[in-house]
Amino acid sequence: MLMIKDYIRPKSLEEAYELLSSNKNSRILGGGAFLRLGSKRINTAIDLCDLDLNYIKETDEGIEIGAMTTFRDLEKSQILKEYFGNLLADALKGIMGVQFRNYVTVGASVYSKYGFSDLITALLALDCTLVF
């Protein structure tokens, strides 16, 4: 059974980091798709939804993708299609259904290092740099 003692939506990355560092039983919430797998006790659940981390943007150095960007956002992004064709869209389109891809996030999938992740394989092929 999943048990969460406190649920917090920090207003800054600094606040989120402080909450995460302050207790070993604190957890960052990503999309939440696999949260209920197994029995977990979470002291503080830290939801990043208020931190504007859902973006795909082109910069002088490359393309930046925020941690809260959903798989569906990647799948539909014109910026990613312009540079990489359908590589990411094709890697993600077979994952469950659109509803699932609408809430699974890039950050949660990459950070969790799921061995079955089609996204991680695609990012490896693109020789991406990750910033945690």
Find the DSSP H helices in 7-132: 13-22, 71-76, 78-84, 87-92, 98-101, 106-112, 118-125
Average pLDDT, the chain: 85
Kindly report the backbone phi and psi dihedral angles of residue 5, in degrees, each rounded to the nearest multiple of 5, phi listed first: -80, -55
- By the 8 A CB rule, do 121 and 88 touch? no
**Confidence band for 32, pLDDT divided at 50, 70 and 90:** low
Summarised one tens digit per residue, pLDDT across range 103-120 is 788 888 887 776 667 888
The structure's pTM equals: 0.82
**Confidence band for 64, pLDDT divided at 50, 70 and 90:** very high
- By the 8 A CB rule, do 24 and 63 touch? no
User: What pLDDT is recorded for position 115?
Assistant: 65
The structural domains of the chain, with segments of one domain joined by +, span 2-47, 56-125
Question: What residues have CB less than 8 Å from 66, skipping those under 6 apart?
Answer: 52, 53, 54, 55, 56, 106, 107
CATH topology of domain 2-47: 3.30.43
Which of 14-23, 27-36, 88-97 bottoms out in mean pLDDT, i.e. has the lowest? 27-36
